[in-house]
C-alpha cells in the first residue's frame, strides 16, 4: 500500500525530517520542487528541513558523546574542535560527521553545541533552499528531471572540489 503523504501534513513533515538524516541535499531539492509546484507550503517545507538538519547534527554530537562515554565498543581520541570549526563544518561537505562527533566526544557542552549549530543549520537550510528555488526558476520551462539533474550536479561538483582541495 502506498501512502499519499500530501494528504497528511504531519506524515509529510516527518518524512522530510527523516529524509534529511539520509540524503540532506537531495531532500532540500525535492522540498523546493514541491513548494514550487504548490504541493507544499513554504513554511512547512522550510521548517521540516530545518528541524531535520538540526536533529541530524545533534545526533552526530550525541554519537560522539556516546563513544566517549563508552556506549559503543570503539573508543578513539578526537581533537577538540573550536567554536569556529564547529560553525563552519555545517557549510563544508564531508566535515560534519567527524567535527560534530568530535564535539560530542570531547563534551564541548550540549548547550554550547546547540548555540553554534542552530543558527548555522537555519542559515544553511535557507541558503540551499534559495539556491534550489533559483534552479527551478531558471529551468521552470524544462522538465522537472532537468532541474533535479542540474541541482544534483552542482552538489556533486562542490563535493568533488572540496575533496580535491583537502588533499
User: Residues 29, 132: contact at Cβ < 8 Å?
Assistant: yes
The answer, yes or no, to whether residue 87 has pLDDT greater than 60, is: yes
**What is the rounded CA–CA span in Å between residue 72 and residue 65?**
10
pLDDT of 77? 61
Give the number of other CB atoms < 10 A from CB of residue 100. 26
Residue 52 contacts residue 21 (beta carbons within 8 Å)? yes
Region 28-35: mean pLDDT is: 83
Task: Write down the residue that cell numbers 553554534 correspond to.
Answer: 116
Average pLDDT, the chain: 81
Task: Give mean pLDDT, residues 66-93.
Answer: 75
Kindly indicate the confidence band of residue 135, based on its pLDDT and cuts at 50, 70 and 90.
confident
Q: For the whole prediction, is pTM greater than 0.85?
A: no
Q: Where are the domains of the chain?
A: 5-166
Q: What is the DSSP string of 123-161?
A: HHHHHHHHHHHHHHHHTTTS-HHHHHHHHHHHHHHHHHH
Q: What letter does residue 5 receive in the DSSP assignment? A: G
pLDDT at 6 exceeding the cut of 80: no
Which residue in this structure is represented by grid cell 563534551? 107
Length of the chain: 167
Tell me how far apart the alpha carbons of residues 60 and 96 are, in angstroms, rounded to a whole number: 8
> What mean pLDDT comes out for the span 67-79?
66
Which residues have a Cβ under 8 Å from the Cβ of 120 and sit 6 or more positions away? 87, 90, 91
Q: Rounded distance, CA 43 to CA 128, Å? A: 15
Cα gap 67→77, rounded to integer Å: 10
* For residue 117, pLDDT beyond 80: yes
Amino acid at each position: 500500500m502506498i501512502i499519499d503523504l500530501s494528504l497528511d501534513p504531519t506524515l509529510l513533515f516527518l518524512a522530510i525530517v527523516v529524509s534529511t538524516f539520509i540524503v540532506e541535499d537531495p531532500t532540500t531539492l525535492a522540498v523546493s520542487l514541491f513548494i514550487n509546484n504548490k504541493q507544499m507550503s513554504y513554511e512547512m517545507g522550510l521548517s521540516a528541513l530545518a528541524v531535520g538538519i538540526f536533529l541530524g547534527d545533534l545526533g552526530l554530537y550525541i554519537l560522539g558523546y556516546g563513544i566517549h562515554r563508552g556506549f559503543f565498543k570503539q573508543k578513539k581520541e578526537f581533537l577538540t574542535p573550536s567554536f569556529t570549526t564547529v560553525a563552519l563544518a555545517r557549510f563544508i561537505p564531508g566535515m560534519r560527521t567527524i567535527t560534530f562527533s568530535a564535539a560530542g566526544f570531547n563534551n564541548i557542552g550540549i548547550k554550547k553545541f546547540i548555540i553554534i549549530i542552530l543558527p548555522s543549520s537555519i542559515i544553511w537550510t535557507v541558503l540551499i533552499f534559495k539556491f534550489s528555488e533559483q534552479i527551478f526558476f531558471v529551468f521552470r520551462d524544462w522538465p522537472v528531471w532537468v532541474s533535479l539533474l542540474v541541482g544534483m550536479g552542482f552538489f556533486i561538483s562542490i563535493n568533488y572540489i572540496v575533496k580535491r582541495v583537502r588533499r
